[in-house]
């Protein structure tokens, strides 16, 4: 029986180093002289085509820009041994089946994704009830590797940065915390987002729960 591939997922808030970890894994695979293909979602075009970290000049310029799971499936080569997919949360939920199918065929798959949106809620795949939680279940259920990373909370009060481990992505709209009813997907970088800890994460207009 053919050996099955290993699925790895690096997740967390913005600026926690997800893409850096994906680049590290790509570098290892290429150093081992394996056939590698790298995909990035077209929503992530903040720094131009390819796949780039928030640190200037660090990335993978040959990443293939795609917008659906089907596009990835159509571009996979028969001899590919390792597939890297960045910004998985932007894809449709067919990405789940594609990742599992690649692993069944013996391809190692490494992904990077936000676990929650700016509201602090599980990130939904495009037009779907499925979330990154479904991908986490797939990784664990196939005995893959799950890496949860944190950033540093950048909330400032009295001129001092908080500095606690950040697990949430804070969206800033016109200098103020974003409203719950804003669009989920608004691509941006430091001008719109910063990492926050749970205590300092603010979402205005959030519906209240009655217990």
Coil, strand, or helix at residue 15? coil
Q: What is the pLDDT of residue 59?
A: 74
In the chain, the N- to C-terminal Cα span, in Å, equals 53
Q: State the chain's mean pLDDT as an integer.
A: 93
* Each residue's pLDDT tens digit, 88-103: 999 999 999 999 999 9
**Whether residues 87 and 130 fall in one domain:** yes
Contact 38, 60 (CB under 8 A): yes
Give pLDDT tens digits for 75-86: 999 999 999 999
Residue 176 phi, psi dihedral angles, 5° rounding: -125, 155
The residue segments making up the domain with residue 41 are 7-149
Higher-confidence position of 54 and 105:
105
Q: What secondary structure does DSSP assign to 183-199, as a single string? A: -S----STTTEEEE-TT
Residue 204 lies in a domain: no
In a domain, 192, yes or no: yes
Give the total number of structural domains in the chain: 2
Check which CATH number belongs to the domain holding 118 and give it.
3.40.50.300
Task: Report yes or no on 126 lying in a domain.
Answer: yes
- 86 - beta bridge partners? 40
Q: Which one of 149, 166, 184 terminates a domain?
A: 149
Would residue 87 show up in a list of annotated catalytic residues for this protein? yes
Residue 53: predicted pLDDT:
67
**Contact status, residue 197 vs residue 164, Cβ threshold 8 Å:** yes
207 part of a folded domain: no
Is there a single domain that holds both residue 132 and residue 186?
Answer: no
Q: Dump pLDDT digits (tens) for 129-163.
A: 999 999 999 999 999 999 999 999 999 998 999 99
d(CA 210, CA 62): 50
Q: Which residues contact 141 (CB under 8 A, 6 or more apart)?
A: none
Average pLDDT over residues 34-61: 80
Catalytic residue among 29, 30, 33, 87: 87
99, 169: one domain: no
Site of tokens 């690096």: 10
- Report the half-sphere exposure of 80 (CA within 13 A, side-chain side): 21
In a domain, 109, yes or no: yes
- Residue that wins the pLDDT comparison between 197 and 51: 197
| Residues above pLDDT 70, as percent of the chain | 95
């Amino acid at each position: 029986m053919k050996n099955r591939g290993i699925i790895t997922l690096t997740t967390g808030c913005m600026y926690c180093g997800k893409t850096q970890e994906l680049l590290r894994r790509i570098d290892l695979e290429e150093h081992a002289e394996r056939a590698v293909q790298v995909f990035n979602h077209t929503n992530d075009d903040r720094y131009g085509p390819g796949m780039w970290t928030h640190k200037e000049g660090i990335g993978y310029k040959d990443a293939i820009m795609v917008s659906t799971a089907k596009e990835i499936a159509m571009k996979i080569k028969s001899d590919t041994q390792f597939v890297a997919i960045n910004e998985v949360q932007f894809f449709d939920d067919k990405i789940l089946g594609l990742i599992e199918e690649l692993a069944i065929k013996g391809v190692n798959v490494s992904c990077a994704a936000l676990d929650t949106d700016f509201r602090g809620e599980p990130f939904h795949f495009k037009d779907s009830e499925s979330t990154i939680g479904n991908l986490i279940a797939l990784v664990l259920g196939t005995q893959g590797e799950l890496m949860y990373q944190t950033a540093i909370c950048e909330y400032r009060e009295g001129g001092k940065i908080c500095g606690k481990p950040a697990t949430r992505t804070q969206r800033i709209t016109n200098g103020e915390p974003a409203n719950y009813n804003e669009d989920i997907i608004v691509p941006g970088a430091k001008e719109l987002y910063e990492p926050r800890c749970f205590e300092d994460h603010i979402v205005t207009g959030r519906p209240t729960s009655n217990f």
